[in-house]
């Protein structure tokens, strides 16, 4: 009798366990699919931002890209015999030339500027859509340009630039008078304009040249390339 009682108790316990298991499955199904309390997903969402800045277009063009002093030579006689170099510039009408505008005239037979011709300059116009910073740099120093290492007075060889507003509000941050672009043994970057406007064609710069020519400069044509660069601020 005791063994039957134990077997019957185990049978009842087994049935109760099965009922509890089935009930748990039903409850889980209801919570998961109907109520959603146990809803789990592998999808993670977020937000991204795309930004765009219109930087505008930087532009620069020349109204004139070639300046020439013509043909001439240094007169090393008479009152000029004590001078070591002659100063030539393209802004003679503004009296920025120490030799071409006054006596003694140590540079003679200059076909371009000797006879009172008007000022000559590079004219730079901003044809872009943003204000630009304008600078200049040359391709060789004064010794290489004028002497090729053959001048005893090569130390005075050089060239400088002077920037001037064509319109009063074209540019802010011009040169402080003439600034060295090259000396006998060095090349510099000259800041011609910190911010050149772009509103109209009158927003432009005139860039004048001032050159120091040693009296013993070697004969022949001399050419210097100047690169002008426009960079947005």
Number of structural domains (the chain) is 2
Residue 37 lies in a domain: yes
Q: Does the residue 87 lie in any domain?
A: yes
34 & 66 share domain = no
CA 68 to CA 117: how far, in whole Å? 12
- Answer whether residue 56 is part of any domain: no
Residue 168: pLDDT above 60? yes
Range from 24-33, 44-53, 116-125, 221-230 carrying the lowest mean pLDDT: 44-53
One domain for residues 75 and 31: no
In terms of residue numbers, what domain contains 86? 61-232
pTM: 0.68
Do residues 36 and 88 share a domain?
Answer: no
β-bridge mates for residue 86, sequence order: 213
- Whether residues 65 and 19 share a domain: the answer is no
Strand segments, DSSP code E, in the chain are: 61-64, 73-74, 85-89, 107-108, 122-125, 132-138, 158-165, 171-172, 179-182, 190-196, 204-214, 226-232
At residue 36 the predicted structure's pLDDT band, cuts being 50, 70 and 90, is: very low
How high is the mean pLDDT of the chain?
A: 72
Largest interatomic CA distance in the chain: 152
- Of the pLDDT bands very low, low, confident and very high (cuts 50, 70, 90), residue 50 is very low
């Amino acid at each position: 009798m005791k063994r039957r009682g134990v077997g019957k108790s185990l049978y009842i316990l087994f049935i109760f366990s099965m009922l509890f298991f089935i009930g748990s499955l039903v409850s889980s199904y209801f919570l998961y699919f109907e109520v959603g309390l146990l809803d789990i997903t592998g999808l993670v969402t977020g937000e991204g931002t795309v930004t765009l800045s219109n930087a505008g277009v930087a532009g620069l063009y020349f109204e004139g890209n070639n300046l020439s002093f013509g043909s001439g030579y240094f007169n090393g006689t008479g009152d000029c015999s004590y001078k070591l170099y002659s100063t030539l510039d393209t802004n003679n009408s503004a009296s920025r030339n120490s030799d071409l505008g006054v006596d003694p005239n140590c540079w003679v037979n200059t076909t371009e500027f000797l006879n009172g011709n008007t000022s000559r300059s590079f004219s730079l116009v901003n044809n872009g859509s943003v204000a630009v910073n304008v600078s200049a740099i040359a391709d060789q120093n004064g010794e290489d340009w004028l002497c090729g290492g053959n001048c005893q007075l090569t130390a005075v060889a050089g060239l400088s630039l002077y920037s001037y507003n064509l319109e009063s509000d074209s540019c802010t941050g011009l040169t402080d008078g003439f600034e060295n672009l090259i000396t006998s043994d060095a090349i510099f970057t000259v800041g011609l304009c910190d911010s050149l406007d772009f509103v109209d064609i009158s927003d432009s710069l005139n860039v004048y040249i001032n050159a120091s020519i040693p009296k013993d400069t070697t004969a022949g044509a001399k050419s210097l390339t100047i690169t002008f660069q426009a960079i947005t601020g």
